[in-house]
Amino acid sequence: MAEHAKIFSPSASPTWLHCPAAPRISAGIPDTTSEFATEGTEAHEQAEAILTGKKEPFPEHHEDLEPYYELVAEYKATGILMVETKVEFTEWCPDGFGTADAIVIDGTKVIVIDLKFGKGVRVSAEDNSQMRLYALGVLQALQFEYALDTVEMVISQPRLDHISTETLSATELLAWGDWVKERVKLVQDPKAVAVPGGKQCRWCRGKLACRASNRCAQQE
């Protein structure tokens, strides 16, 4: 099962990067589980099994995932594939880590691929903080071993027939990492001020308990 950090979670990064008070306000409020989240977990377990040659745990998702398998196979053809890999980006966030669905090392280029099984909103890889944090984790672990100089981040949404990519040089990504460090300092400030907004409030567990978020919603 995929592991993710509690405070500096890559999937929650749109929230804590843009509202430094969000982790404090959300503390103690449990995540809710939905049938869509359960379905997504099943799909990721199925994808991992197919890519690693194991018995399929949820074959009912096989057909829907075929575009993802094919995409990974294309990248794997000339590279080294790693599946469901824990990546740590602790150089930028204390205890920061997550699980990348697929990583391919192709020469001095690394491709980080993320499976999104939802069929609602299309997700873009452009300026996607979750993908960039995964990529920073790969650089932290493997940049010097493979002399990585380019990072390609790919989001696959097979049920929407949607693929989105962003390519950065390692230098560009590391510069973005410097900005992340500054945001982390703000989060660690016990007096951090809530900064409401569409992106950061959308999936914030603490938004119902947040006065700033409620005022913002009333003004819309």
Q: Which domain holds residue 182?
A: 13-219
The answer to the question of residue 6 being in a domain is no
The answer to the question of residue 110 being in a domain is yes
62 membership: H or E segment, kind and range: helix 62-76
The answer to the question of residue 8 being in a domain is no
The answer to the question of residue 53 being in a domain is yes
The answer to the question of residue 111 being in a domain is yes
What is the three-class DSSP state of 85?
A: strand
Residue 172, C-beta contacts closer than 8 angstroms, at least 6 positions apart: none
pTM: 0.92
Mind listing the pLDDT tens digit of every residue in the chain (220 residues)?
Answer: 455 557 899 999 999 999 999 999 988 887 776 788 899 999 999 999 999 999 999 999 999 999 999 999 999 999 999 999 999 999 999 999 999 999 999 999 999 999 999 998 999 999 999 999 999 999 999 999 999 999 999 999 999 999 999 999 999 999 999 999 999 999 999 999 999 988 899 889 888 888 877 655 544 4
Q: Summarize pLDDT for 109-133 with one digit per residue, the tens.
A: 999 999 999 998 999 999 999 999 9
CA pair distance 79, 110, nearest whole angstrom: 9
The answer to the question of residue 159 being in a domain is yes
**Which CATH number fits the domain that encloses residue 35?**
3.90.320
CA pair distance 103, 56, nearest whole angstrom: 21
CA pair distance 13, 138, nearest whole angstrom: 17
CA pair distance 11, 72, nearest whole angstrom: 21
Structurally, the chain folds into a number of domains equal to 1
